[in-house]
Structure 1
């Protein structure tokens, strides 16, 4: 028997269902059709190759996210990548950042700017705009300014220098039975190189019993490397710390190294940064001249990442996945993970989600240490370095053992 109460309950139930359906439709209607993420990197000038590799990594991340259904917390909103060219100077990088925040008010996050000097300039702009920025740049000063919207994914240059020297000494001792006692330094004066070399210059070499035979600094772009490498030829250190930041400078230095018969592994050469592991360097110099050269990086396609490396190679035609590409891929994934956790495409909410983030899955698997969490300055707490060495025409990870795909080579004297 149908009563007034039964009818009323039915009406209320139907009304409630309609209200829920309406609310759900409103939520999806309010969700943005797209979520914008920016990449600001040098896409022209001497560092354009690094920017290109970052672009390829970021584009693959966007494609993967959209293929998997977009941003699920926002009703499947698609991710759009917006590109800005940082150019070849800090002034151009800062101008690009100003255009970015003016032209794209809906950005939820940005990754870039590769060269630490550029990142320092760009992050001044993103900080004022309260736009979260993730970066692979190394300079310690990036996260020492009290900023709230910068997130440094790689270990700082100072941290890398502190960790790299003991690791390199262990590699040398394992290969030769003894630790090196002498070194030489050739470095440019960019923020990343200065940051990397400072702890070593300030006492790390001395504590390790290593004598610095010469310490040379140059301003990029380098016109002639003869005088610099002449120091290495005349003083013959047991290893050479060679800290440039661009492929053209690396090319000049390494060509002169080989002209003076110091290359092909005869003198261990250690650099810093992914530019020393690019396919472009191989094309310009060749495998024989690069053999044995090492570089310390904040990330690399390593053991355990074979799946993403294979897909990247197929999608881009690149022979391997460098720090630039895998960091850009991971950074975009991390920003979108923060959007998912914030449940809205709001840059302040995304920044807060990044500050609270503590994950060991998803994007965390694309960074050494396999964990993403940040300290109060924006440094990734568990960031670790990787040492890569050119062997038979390919830059392969040799340290730490968990990431290594090859045994290290260190020539005996």
Structure 2
């Protein structure tokens, strides 16, 4: 939440520094803050409060369940809602008029995961036949985990593979020893976890403790693996983890400019999925307001439908919405932790480093 808010605020400040919404006489953006506390009912209540305080557009909220609750409310209140982060397909499958999403859908995640896994298998000439999947029990975790399991079972991977274990556990779990024991028993080639930072750390420590042998850890897409706290706390144990995520475009001019500002404001921090898409979401709103020349909801909605916002901040092309409100050009990259840093390793056109697979050392062999 903190990273998202920082990205939102930086975008607001940048738009205002460039003259605000020029078509409305240089009107300045103002960020009204709400906190869902990761609870759907609180997200709805906070959104109601923001609308009463005069918000002409809502953005956020990171969690798919909260996004669903906000989308339902915004439809009833006829207030535009631009989702910066939330992936569950169902959010935009209700026929809502007032909801738009910058972020990739779970379906998009699966397509990119399949593509990158295929490339890894071909280039490294390795055999991945046995896959274990874990996920948290919140809406995003359940949807993301099940989507990848279904993707593999439907034989959409271009190589023969099977799901040998699929484990779901509560968000905020305090112990994963039993779950990791089950994974060890089925001897998977790779582990594909959908995790948050807290359970990601629990999982790595338990894999280390129980000496679970793997070719690699490759997430189909989740925030647990790239958060600075995970990388800092795990050290060598976090090395070589891969994650299929909507990521910044490290070679993009917009990324370089915005990241420099972000890192100066917040020493030791950098733009990532959360702060990057939060920044982009505000830019989309500002662009729509500029073209709408109005704060009336229907004018903003009409402008959002016609959005074509060029950007090289995030991996993917210009932001443009389809009839459901999804960004047709949203995409994901494969990132990997290498020498304590997050690096884009695929696609090659955006790669900062060459990926390492299989892991050269098992967790317990790293001198920790």
Give the alignment's TM-score, normalised by structure 2.
0.90
2:341 matched to 1:394? Answer: yes
**Hey, what's the Cα distance between the residues in 2 that align with 1:399 and 1:95?**
40
Decide which of 298, 323, 326 is 2:273's aligned counterpart.
Answer: 323
Q: What's the offset of the Cα at 1:236?
A: 2.0
Specify the alignment match of 2:188 in structure 1.
Answer: 237
Instruction: Specify whether residues 404 and 108 from structure 1 end up closer, same or farther in structure 2 by C-alpha distance, changes over 3 A only.
Output: farther
**DSSP 3-state at the match of 1:81:** coil
Matched, 1:223 2:171: no
Deviations 1:208-239 (Å, cap 9, x if unpaired)? 31111111111211121001111222222111
Distance verdict in 2 for CA 1:401–1:205, change over 3 Å: farther
State how 1:1-400 maps to structure 2 within 5 Å. Answer: 51-102=1-52, 104-105=53-54, 107-135=55-83, 136-174=85-123, 176-207=124-155, 208=157, 209-244=160-195, 246-262=196-212, 267-283=216-232, 285-304=233-252, 305-359=255-309, 361=310, 364-400=311-347
Q: Cα deviation per residue 1:61-104 (whole Å; 9 max; x = unaligned)?
A: 111111111111111111111110011321222221222222x2
d(CA) in 1 for partners of 2:133, 2:57: 37
C-alpha separation in 2, matches of 1:388 and 1:119: 26
The alignment partner of 2:34 has SS state of: strand
Structure-2 residue corresponding to 1:5: none
Please provide the CA RMSD for this pair. 1.9
User: Is contact 1:56–1:316 with CA below 8 Å preserved after alignment?
Assistant: no
CA distance in 1, matches of 2:328, 2:164: 35
Once the two structures are TM-superposed, the CA of residue 126 in structure 1 deviates from its matched residue by 1.6
Mapped partners of 2:205, 2:359: distance in 1:
22
- Structure 2: gaps of 5 or more residues: 361-368
Question: How much has 1:120 moved relative to structure 2?
Answer: 0.8
- Counterpart Cα distance in 1 of 2:203 and 2:281: 32
Equivalent residue, structure 1, for 2:363: none
The answer to whether the Cα contact below 8 Å between 2:153 and 2:162 also exists between their aligned partners in 1 is yes
Secondary structure, counterpart of 2:353 in structure 1 = coil
> How much does 1:382 deviate?
1.4
Q: Output the CA distance in 2 between the equivalents of 1:227 and 1:271.
A: 22
> Are the equivalent residues in 1 in contact too, given 2:110–2:220 (CA < 8 A)?
no
What is the CA–CA distance in structure 2 between the aligned matches of 1:334 and 1:247, rounded to whole Å?
Answer: 28
> Which whole-Å CA distance do the structure 1 matches of 2:240 and 2:99 have between them?
35
Give me the whole-angstrom Cα distance separating, in 1, the residues matched to 2:115 and 2:182.
25
Contact 1:169–1:180 (Cα < 8 Å) also in 2: no
Distance 1:351 1:125 in 2: 16
TM-score normalised to structure 1 length: 0.81
1:91-125: per-residue Cα shift (whole Å, max 9, x none)?
222221222222x22x2322111011111111111
In structure 1, the gaps of 5 or more residues are 1-50
Deviation at 1:184, TM superposition (A): 0.4
Q: How many residues align?
A: 354
Instruction: Answer whether contact 2:89 2:107 (CA < 8 A) is retained.
Output: yes
Instruction: Tell me the CA shift for residue 262 of structure 1.
Output: 3.9
